[in-house]
Amino acid sequence: MLRVGFSVSKSILFAFIAALMIGPARSADWSPATPSPQIVDDWIVSVDASTTGSSSKSYFTEAGATAAIPGSLSTSGARLRVEALAGTYEYLSATNMQIHGQQIEAAVLGGYEWVGPRSKFAVYLGGMALNTALSRPDPHNSANGASLGLKGAVDYYARPSERTMVSAFGAFATNDSQFFTRLRVGYMLPGGVYIGPESALMGNNTYALWQVGAFLTGAQFGPVQGGLSIGYQQDRDQKSGLYGSADLRVLF
């Protein structure tokens, strides 16, 4: 999500990809669709990757890395995050023209994370470069072209009890006023896997998208942690459909 990851343009982020994937976007999303963190060692770097898509023909892939500088991710301290996102989408313009868009963005963020016995909270701020190319001119889409801007984010994760979790994420970028928010509440199944409902809201100056669905996160495959989400979405233009995402996390 963000356009998401913070990201946005005039399109929706996220649809099914091989019955496994999908999760927010519409030319702008910072996709925070990464698995819920599980602090089990003195890891210093986490690498995340996600693929998202939607029935509105929006497909995005995002990758990012977060490092503790210095120290480890299991203790409070400074953080450095680098991320990149690329994808394609389609939408119907105000003049009833079908437009195909391509979006590429990259960001470097610095921040601080507070880590407690059952929770963690992080804040980030940095710069973002965004480039959006449309198949034809659209005067109603202010996201067209290249831009530099500021990007910030907050990330919260907690385990209120031995079998419950809550995560909340929010991001905003000055590039076309992109925004993304997501809330998840989960219950632990046998094997340490969490399942539960999720809700997200994202958009920019020209569109807004709401999503509600279900997620599964924490599945372990050796050193790799994975997650899935799927659900229903609707944008400001009353277009509805399905979304989904698949994501992976590796700790070093």
Confirm if 126 and 84 have CB atoms less than 8 A apart.
no
Question: pLDDT tens digit string along 35-87?
Answer: 444 445 678 999 999 999 999 888 999 999 999 998 899 999 999 999 999 99
Q: Would the pLDDT of 167 be above 90?
A: yes
**How many CB atoms are located within 10 Å of the residue 201 CB?**
17
Q: So where are the chain's domains?
A: 45-251
Instruction: Give the CATH class of 45-251.
Output: mainly beta
Kindly state the tokens that stand for 49. 């990757």
User: What is the pLDDT, as a whole number, of residue 205?
Assistant: 84
Q: How far apart are CA 78 and CA 111, in angstroms?
A: 6
The CA distance from 175 to 127, in Å, is: 10
Give residue 218's pLDDT band: very low, low, confident or very high (50, 70, 90). confident
CA dihedral 46, 227, 1, 198 (to 10 degrees): -130
pLDDT value of position 39: 43
Start-to-end Cα distance in the chain: 25
> What's the pLDDT at 5?
36
pLDDT of residue 184: 97
Q: Average pLDDT, whole number, for the chain?
A: 83
